Structure 1
Amino acid sequence: MESSVLAFATDLIDEGPDTFFGNLTDRAGVGGVTLASVYHEARDVFPHNPHRVVRYLEPGAAYFRPDRARWAGRRLAPTPSTAIGDRDPFAEAAGQAQRRGLKLHAWTVFCHNDRLGFEHPDCAPANAFGDRHLTELCPANPEVREYATTLVGEFARYGVDAIRAESLHFHGLRHGYHHERYFEELGPVTEALLGLCFCDHCRANAVSAGVPAEEVRTAVRVELRARLADEDRAVEPAALDGLAGGAVAAYVDAAALSVTSLTAEVAEAAAGLGMRLTFMDGGGPGKGWLSGIDLPALGKAAHQIETLGYAKTPEAVREKIAAFALHGVRPEEMAVILRPMTQDCDGPANLAAKIATLRGLGVPEVEFYHYGLMRLASLDRIGTALHG
């Protein structure tokens, strides 16, 4: 079973390559590192960082040095984080990984990019009223798709083994934007409908799939206005396949085609450069439909599916993997992320049992979240669980 730890480039910069990679090999004992290449805005607490405990991550920043010629004339292009200065953390990581016999993965956040969304609102999803969700990029937009496939091409020169593709899909209404506020109870149906994208490209794709996109948008507007006006109506349950004679559900299915085809294009671009594409599905089976996640189709489009195995017991981890098998994704086609911290694990034996469960199911890769966000004792826990 292959193993790696997810980390930020700022972990490497702040601690220095020797300490950073020494902790990965000597304490955690893993065979690789999954380094964030493009990441979203965040505020995090770093328990063992020598320079700062609280750090703000910039919106949609890149943590490598983009090839300027590759992006000439493009509106959507990666912008290096100010935190890396004139350094290239991926080049440093590539050299260290090769010297130490470790695999390097590029953890890449694609469509959750507030920097590019705010700079180019026409590339962001639009709800039924035309309001743009500026913290995201729309997977159906041709410029976004070109950005995604071009971005993959940057990592071959670093000797990257796999692209860990996060956010290669739509997002719902709630996605953790700072000071995100909902003072009236909206209800799950209202939130679901407000999260659907009706930009020109999504509507055109729906029409191509035989869905009356304008009728759907009108029906969604009417339904939303009724639910926003009446608090009793807002919390009433309703199945999306019952709205507009089932056309709303068909519209969501058409959106999934955009996500699947984009994933296939990015996977093809990665494979052409000797890399794998791992589609990161954080929600799990049955939770990603509104995000355009069709697991059986994505299992064929990507080289691998990765999910979060965040759970307190090995039995709960086993159930998560079994759920994927019911959706056509076999354990041997998966990677699983575990958290060694106390919210999931009460000690090395617990983590070792989860790893043994995954190995017994045939899962070939396990990753651990997250180098900078865990205590050093949790890195030791990984090493003990992997090697005894």
Structure 2
Amino acid sequence: MRAAAFLYPWDVIGDPDAPARLLGLGIRQVTLAAAYHSTRALTPRHPRHRIVTAAHAAVLYPPGDRWQGRALRPYPAGEWAPGDAYGAAADALAAAGIDVRSWVVLAHNSRMGEEHPATSVVNAYGDRYPWAPCIARPATRAYLVDLAAEAAVRPGARGTELESCGWYGLAHLHAHDKTAGVGLGEAGQYLMSLCFCSSCRAGYAGAGLDPDALAAAVRRGLEPVWRGEADDTGWASVETLIGTDLAAATRAWREKTARTLQEAAVAAVRAAAPPDFQVLLHADPVPYHCGANAGVDPAHILSVADGVVVPCTGGAEALTPFTAHAGPATVLAANLTVVGAMGGRPGTLAADAARAAGLGATELRLYHAGLASDDDLAQVGRALSTPE
């Protein structure tokens, strides 16, 4: 299978050995960040630095003219990725014969939420999640669709991978997070991720719900969760906590909102891209899930995009719902973490890849070539050189 590695521009810029190192591992394709959230990243082999701090969500290239006069627009990067950092890194990789795809993070932007609070998800208690733009808000959707088109179709890119193209919720991995004191489970995460901003309240009302009564029902439903008394049986627990009818109505609203955003984003990318430009989504096959791997309906998303990138580090079973709807050209990429200190398993990469292939994977994604230790990368290189 084709194996591609994730990479940041700062992993390449200033390190002339980076492309050759990838080639030595057997990697011929890179998914390179073009629009990314705030992060603090290790660079264990870079000749000039060891830590890069990206202070806020940013595009890693100069934003275009389409943003002039708009309140919501992408932020340029600071000193961690100045100018056209994406372009410089992509050129260096391409010059070495490495195929480059853009990596675009969409509905995850803490700075936008801080500067434009009305864009954020608001939970049933009235708490805002500044890291989570509400994808039901028209201005936010317009921003995300235009960002997808601009950040995806960078010069030289032969395809893109759209991350966070759907609902984001409570789970965030925010700096100094202190949210794990209560085990929320799937049901608690869902209820704490329901949005009650003005656009979502209007959406609930359009579905025949009273938004105030729904918020009250969510707060009541969460009481057993706070006491540690709720069972976690996935969607069945949501239905138990707020009732089958309310659960179904909220899910229908949210899934329609996510589907239409995904359709619009993919269409915008294709309208801006050259022929044969490949569009993939980072995806979770459970439609009500939130996060970087947006919850999707497998049949729907594979009718819209060219394929999906599916988290498989804990097991490749999440591929199975997509396999039934895949065509001959569909990309089902198994995303495997290969950074041992982040829970990855570089030592079992060959076996994990074989397991993923048996469940329908057509490609691999390796997270993350810039963050991994030398030993992690050595194990990756041995796995990729192992005959299938």
Report the more deviating stretch, 100-109 or 265-274. Answer: 100-109
**Secondary structure at the counterpart of residue 241 of structure 1:** helix
Q: Does 1:308 align with 2:305?
A: no
Q: Which structure has the highest helix share of the two?
A: 1
Q: Per-residue deviation at 1:356? A: 3.9
Of the three residues 87, 104, 110, the one matched with 1:91 is: 87
Query: 1:162–1:85: structure 2 CA closer, same or farther, 3 Å change rule?
Result: closer
Counterpart position of 2:40:
43
Q: Does 1:298 align with 2:271?
A: no
Aligned amino acid, residue 47 of structure 1: P
In 1, Cα distance between the equivalents of 2:308 and 2:163? Answer: 11
Q: Does 1:145 align with 2:114?
A: no
Counterpart position of 2:63:
66
Report the more deviating stretch, 187-196 or 143-152. Answer: 187-196
In 2, Cα distance between the equivalents of 1:203 and 1:93? Answer: 43
Query: 1:262–1:97: structure 2 CA closer, same or farther, 3 Å change rule?
Result: same
1:313-370 deviation per Cα after TM superposition (whole angstroms, max 9, x unaligned): xxx43x34335447x56794411122334454464xx323333444455533212111
RMSD: 2.9
Q: Per-residue deviation at 1:122? A: 0.4
TM-score by length of structure 1 reads 0.84
Q: Does 1:116 align with 2:118?
A: no
Of the three residues 233, 236, 258, the one matched with 2:230 is: 236
In 1, Cα distance between the equivalents of 2:243 and 2:311? Answer: 35
In 2, Cα distance between the equivalents of 1:185 and 1:100? Answer: 49
In 1, Cα distance between the equivalents of 2:212 and 2:243? Answer: 11
Q: Per-residue deviation at 1:156? A: 2.4
Counterpart position of 1:366:
364
Aligned amino acid, residue 71 of structure 2: R
Q: Per-residue deviation at 1:62? A: 1.9
Report the more deviating stretch, 368-377 or 209-218. Answer: 209-218
Counterpart position of 1:279:
281
In 2, Cα distance between the equivalents of 1:267 and 1:171? Answer: 18
Query: 1:214–1:95: structure 2 CA closer, same or farther, 3 Å change rule?
Result: same
Conservation of the 8 A alpha-carbon contact between 2:129 and 2:169: no
In 1, Cα distance between the equivalents of 2:171 and 2:351? Answer: 34
Q: Does 1:13 align with 2:21?
A: no
Aligned amino acid, residue 135 of structure 2: P
Conservation of the 8 A alpha-carbon contact between 1:63 and 1:84: no
Gapped runs of 5+ residues in structure 1?
none
**Secondary structure at the counterpart of residue 133 of structure 2:** coil
Work out the number of aligned pairs and report it: 370
1:144-168 deviation per Cα after TM superposition (whole angstroms, max 9, x unaligned): 2111221133242412222211111
Aligned amino acid, residue 256 of structure 2: L
Counterpart position of 1:170:
167
In 1, Cα distance between the equivalents of 2:92 and 2:208? Answer: 52
TM-score by length of structure 2 reads 0.84
Counterpart position of 1:247:
246
Q: Per-residue deviation at 1:378? A: 3.2
Report the more deviating stretch, 107-116 or 155-164. Answer: 155-164
Of the three residues 198, 216, 219, the one matched with 1:218 is: 216
Query: 1:201–1:375: structure 2 CA closer, same or farther, 3 Å change rule?
Result: same
**Secondary structure at the counterpart of residue 128 of structure 2:** coil
